Amino acid sequence: MMSCLEAHKPSLCHSEPLTTEKVRAKLTVLKGVLTSCYGPFGRLKQLHNGMGGSVCTTSQSTVLLRNLSVTHPILKILTTAVQNHVSCFSDCGLFTAILCCNLIENVQKTELTAATTIKLNKHLLNFCISYLRSEICGCRIPVDFTSTQILLCLVRSILTSKPACMLTRKEVDHISALILRAFLHTIPENTGEPIILGKCIIVPLKGQRVTDSTVLPGVLIEMSVQLMRMLPARKSSALKVALFATSLSGDFSDPGEGSVVVSYGVSLENAVLDQLINIGRQLVSDRVDLVLCQKVIHPSLKQFLSNHHILAIDRVGVTLMEPLSKVTGAQPIGSLGPVSPSSYGNAKNWCSAKFGCKHFFHLIPNEATVCSLLLCNRNDTAWDELKLTIKDPWVLLGGGCTETHLAAYIRHMTHKEPGSILQDDGCTQAELQLIAEAFCSALESLAGSLEHDGGEILTDMKHGHFWSVQAGPPSAVNWPDLLSRCGCGVYSSQEELTWSFLRSTHHPFVPHTRLPQEALEITQQSAHSLTVDCLTAKLSGLKVAVETANLILDLAYVIEDKN
Amino acid sequence: MKSPRDPGKLLGFRPGADPGELPFLSSWVPGLSNPTREVQGQAFPPSEFVKSSGFSNREAAPVRLPVHSLLPVSSPPFPLPVAPAALGQCRCSDGCQVEAVSPPSSMAVAVSVKTALQVAEVLEAIVSRCVGPEGRQVLCTKPTGEVLLSRDGGRLLQALHLDHPIARIIVACVSSHLKKTGDGAKTFIIFLCHLLRGLHTITEKEKDSLISENIQTFERRWKNCCQWKFISQALLTFQTQILDGIMDQYLSRHFLSVFSSSTKERTLCRSSLVLLLEAYFCGRVGRNNHKFISQLMCDYFFKCMTSENGMEVLELVDDCFVELNVSVIGLPVSDSKIIDGLVLHRDFSVYCPADGDIRVAVVREIIQPVFSTSRSEFVLNSEAQFQTSQIWIMERTKSIMKYLLSQNVKLLLSTVKQPDLVIYYARLSGISVVDCLSSEEVSLIQRIISLSPFVLPQASLQCEISDTALVKFCKPLILRSKRYAHLGLISTCTFVPHCISLCGPVQGLVEQHENALHGAFKMLRQLFKDFDLNYVKKANDQNDALRPCIYKNNRKSNQVPKIGNHSIHRSYQDTGIKNSDKLEKTQYLKAHSNLVVSDVELETYIPCLTLKMMPPDRVQTDEIWRCLPPENKRITDDYELLIESNSTRNSLTENPGIEISYENFQVTNIAGKGSMLPVKYKSLDTCISQSFCSSSIPAGCVLPVGGTFEILLHYYLLSYAERCQQLEEIVVSKLIASALLGIPKILYKPKKGSHSFPQIYLRALHTLQTSQPMISCQAGLESVTGKYHVLTSVLQCLTKILTIDLIMNIKRQPLKNCDQDSEDELQH
Q: How does pLDDT run across B592-620, given as a tens digit for each residue?
A: 333 333 333 333 333 333 333 333 333 33
From chain B, the residues in CB contact with A246 under 8 A are: 420-421, 424
Domain for residue B76, yes or no? yes
From chain A, the residues in CB contact with B134 under 8 A are: 115
Pick the residue of B383, B387, B509, B510 with the most A CBs within 10 A to test the interface with A by mutation. Answer: B383
Residue A259 to residue B377, Cβ atoms within 8 A: yes
Average pLDDT rounded to a whole number, residues B576-580: 38
Which range, of A282-291, B388-397, B485-494, B750-759, averages the lowest pLDDT? B750-759
Chain A residue with minimal CA distance to B369? Answer: A256
Domain for residue B406, yes or no? yes
Whole-number Å distance between alpha carbons of B108 and A143? 78
Whole-number Å distance between alpha carbons of A336 and B469? 33
Instruction: Return the SS3 of B171.
Output: helix
Same domain, B243 and B281: no
Residues A361-420: tens digit of each pLDDT: 888 888 767 777 776 655 556 666 666 666 667 788 888 888 888 888 888 888 888 877
Q: Any idea how long chain B is? A: 828
Pick the residue of A11, A18, A251, A434 with the most B CBs within 10 A to test the interface with B by mutation. Answer: A11
Same domain, B426 and B551: no
Q: Is B387 near chain A, with CB under 8 Å?
A: yes
Same domain, B398 and B284: no
pLDDT at B10 over 90: no
Asked whether A447 and A403 are in contact (CB, 8 A), the reply is yes
Long-range contacts of B545-548 (CB under 8 A, 24+ apart): B545/B720, B545/B723, B545/B724, B546/B723, B546/B724, B546/B725, B547/B241, B547/B242, B547/B245, B547/B625, B547/B729, B548/B621, B548/B624, B548/B625
Chain B residue with minimal CA distance to A78? Answer: B506
Instruction: Work out the minimum CA distance from A261 to partner chain B, whole angstroms.
Output: 5
Among the partner residues A260, A271, A557, nearest to B371 by beta-carbon distance: A260
Domain for residue B729, yes or no? no
Pick the residue of B141, B186, B511 with the most A CBs within 10 A to test the interface with A by mutation. Answer: B141
Q: Is B458 near chain A, with CB under 8 Å?
A: no
pLDDT of B322: 92
Asked whether B617 and B558 are in contact (CB, 8 A), the reply is no
Domain for residue B668, yes or no? no
Pick the residue of B138, B293, B670 with the most A CBs within 10 A to test the interface with A by mutation. Answer: B138
Whole-number Å distance between alpha carbons of A170 and A148? 18
Asked whether B339 and B501 are in contact (CB, 8 A), the reply is yes
Whole-number Å distance between alpha carbons of A488 and A486? 6
Cα torsion angle, A319, A320, A326, A330, sign: negative
From chain B, the residues in CB contact with A274 under 8 A are: 383, 387
Whole-number Å distance between alpha carbons of B311 and B362? 27
- Tell me the DSSP string of A252-295: ----BSSEEEE-TT--HHHHHHHHHHHHHHHHHHTT--EEEESS
Pick the residue of B2, B74, B75, B152 with the most A CBs within 10 A to test the interface with A by mutation. Answer: B75
Instruction: Work out the minimum CA distance from A502 to partner chain B, whole angstroms.
Output: 30
Q: Would you state the torsion angle of the CA atoms of residues B203, B208, B212, B215, taken in this order, to the nearest 10 degrees?
A: 30
ipTM: 0.84
Q: Which of B183-187, B247-251, B625-629 has the highest mean pLDDT?
A: B183-187
Average pLDDT rounded to a whole number, residues B632-651: 37
pLDDT at B2 over 90: no
Residue A267 to residue B126, Cβ atoms within 8 A: no
pLDDT at A3 over 60: no
Interface of B with A in 487-506 (CB under 8 A): 505-506
Instruction: List the beta bridge partners of residue B50.
Output: none
Mean pLDDT of chain B, nearest integer: 67
Closest CA to B91 of B72, B110, B118, B105: B110
Last residue of a domain, one of B662, B695, B717: B662
Residue B330 to residue A88, Cβ atoms within 8 A: yes
Instruction: Work out the minimum CA distance from A10 to partner chain B, whole angstroms.
Output: 5
From chain A, the residues in CB contact with B817 under 8 A are: 4
Residue A121 to residue B481, Cβ atoms within 8 A: no
Instruction: Work out the minimum CA distance from A294 to partner chain B, whole angstroms.
Output: 13
Residue A559 to residue B480, Cβ atoms within 8 A: no
Closest CA to B529 of B272, B312, B218, B351: B312
Say if strands A555-560 and B137-141 run parallel, antiparallel, or are unpaired. Answer: parallel
pLDDT at B93 over 60: no
pLDDT at A177 over 50: yes
pLDDT at B728 over 80: no
Residue B288 to residue A554, Cβ atoms within 8 A: yes
Q: What are phi and psi of A447, to 5 degrees?
A: -65, -40
Chain B residue with minimal CA distance to A562? Answer: B143
Domain for residue B568, yes or no? yes
Same domain, B100 and B75: yes
Instruction: Work out the minimum CA distance from A129 to partner chain B, whole angstroms.
Output: 12
Whole-number Å distance between alpha carbons of B761 and B741? 9
Q: Any idea how long chain A is? A: 563
Same domain, B570 and B461: no
Q: DSSP secondary-structure letter at A370?
A: E
Same domain, B386 and B516: no
Ordered alpha helix ranges (H), A149-298: 149-160, 169-186, 225-230, 268-285
Say if strands A345-347 and A239-244 run parallel, antiparallel, or are unpaired. Answer: antiparallel
pLDDT of A391: 63
Closest CA to B326 of B84, B569, B502, B521: B502
Chain B residue with minimal CA distance to A427? Answer: B1
pLDDT band at A477 (very low <50, low <70, confident <90, very high): low
Instruction: List the beta bridge partners of residue B502.
Output: B327
Cα torsion angle, A34, A40, A43, A45, sign: positive
Q: What are phi and psi of B698, to 5 degrees?
A: -65, 160
Domain for residue B337, yes or no? no
Asked whether B232 and B803 are in contact (CB, 8 A), the reply is yes
From chain B, the residues in CB contact with A275 under 8 A are: 387, 390
Whole-number Å distance between alpha carbons of A245 and A433? 64
From chain A, the residues in CB contact with B288 under 8 A are: 118-119, 121-122, 547, 550-551, 554
pLDDT of B539: 39
Interface of B with A in 281-310 (CB under 8 A): 286-288
Radius of gyration over every alpha carbon of chain B, rounded to an integer in angstroms: 31
Query: pLDDT higher for B199 or B15?
Result: B199
CA distances for B400 relative to B116, B193, B363, B405, B457, angstroms: 69, 67, 12, 9, 11
Mean pLDDT of chain A, nearest integer: 81
Same domain, B144 and B23: yes
Average pLDDT rounded to a whole number, residues B482-507: 90
Ordered alpha helix ranges (H), B128-216: 153-160, 165-181, 185-213
Listed in sequence order, the residues at least 6 apart from B50 whose beta carbon sits closer than 8 Å to its beta carbon are: B21, B23, B56, B57
pLDDT at B108 over 60: no
Asked whether B268 and B309 are in contact (CB, 8 A), the reply is yes
Domain for residue B53, yes or no? yes
pLDDT band at B258 (very low <50, low <70, confident <90, very high): confident
Same domain, B161 and B69: yes
Q: Is B510 exposed, middle or buried (0-12, 13-18, 19+ CB in 10 A)?
A: buried
Average pLDDT rounded to a whole number, residues A191-209: 71
Domain count, chain B: 4
Whole-number Å distance between alpha carbons of A39 and B804? 66
How many Cα atoms within 13 Å fall on the side-chain side of residue B657? 1
Instruction: Work out the minimum CA distance from A465 to partner chain B, whole angstroms.
Output: 27
Average pLDDT rounded to a whole number, residues B790-801: 89
Average pLDDT rounded to a whole number, residues A126-149: 83
CA distances for B650 relative to A449, B107, B663, B669, angstroms: 77, 22, 11, 19
Whole-number Å distance between alpha carbons of B54 and B731? 9
Same domain, B115 and B229: yes
pLDDT of B631: 38
Task: For the beta carbon of residue B690, count every other beta carbon within 10 angstroms.
Answer: 6
How many Cα atoms within 13 Å fall on the side-chain side of residue B602? 26
E strand or H helix that includes residue B808: strand B806-808
Instruction: Return the SS3 of B705.
Output: coil
Query: pLDDT higher for B778 or B186?
Result: B186
Long-range contacts of A297-303 (CB under 8 A, 24+ apart): A297/A244, A297/A248, A297/A249, A298/A248, A298/A249, A298/A250, A298/A273, A300/A273, A300/A276, A301/A248, A301/A273, A301/A276, A301/A277
Residue A266 to residue B386, Cβ atoms within 8 A: yes
Chain B residue with minimal CA distance to A18? Answer: B75
Same domain, B489 and B523: no
Whole-number Å distance between alpha carbons of A88 and B735? 56
Same domain, B509 and B480: no
Instruction: Work out the minimum CA distance from B575 to partner chain A, whole angstroms.
Output: 35
Residue B172 to residue A337, Cβ atoms within 8 A: no
The beta strands (E) that lie in B364-443 are given as 377-380, 409-414, 432-434
SS3 content of chain A, % helix, strand, coil (to 5): 45, 20, 40
Same domain, B481 and B608: no
Last residue of a domain, one of B641, B662, B683: B662
Q: Is B688 near chain A, with CB under 8 Å?
A: no
Whole-number Å distance between alpha carbons of B37 and B43? 19
Q: What are phi and psi of B298, to 5 degrees?
A: -65, -45
Q: How many CB pairs under 8 A join A and B?
A: 263
Among the partner residues A4, A112, A255, nearest to B371 by beta-carbon distance: A255
Last residue of a domain, one of B662, B695, B724: B662
Query: Which domain range does residue B571 map to?
Result: 546-662
Domain for residue B704, yes or no? no
Interface of B with A in 767-806 (CB under 8 A): none
CA distances for B609 relative to B338, B577, B587, B612, angstroms: 46, 14, 20, 9
Which range, of A520-524, B533-537, B779-783, averages the lowest pLDDT? A520-524
Instruction: Work out the minimum CA distance from B107 to partner chain A, whole angstroms.
Output: 18
Pick the residue of A2, A120, A264 with the most B CBs within 10 A to test the interface with B by mutation. Answer: A2
Residue A2 to residue B374, Cβ atoms within 8 A: no
Residue A77 to residue B424, Cβ atoms within 8 A: no
CATH number at residue B427: 3.50.7.10
Residue A551 to residue B149, Cβ atoms within 8 A: yes
From chain B, the residues in CB contact with A267 under 8 A are: 383
What counts of helices (H) and strands (E) characterise chain B?
A: 27, 23
Give the percent of chain A with pLDDT over 70. Answer: 86
Average pLDDT rounded to a whole number, residues B296-318: 86
Residue type, A87: S
Asked whether A89 and A559 are in contact (CB, 8 A), the reply is no
Instruction: List the beta bridge partners of residue A345.
Output: A241
Average pLDDT rounded to a whole number, residues A195-217: 77
Asked whether B614 and B638 are in contact (CB, 8 A), the reply is no
Closest CA to B540 of B350, B693, B353, B318: B693
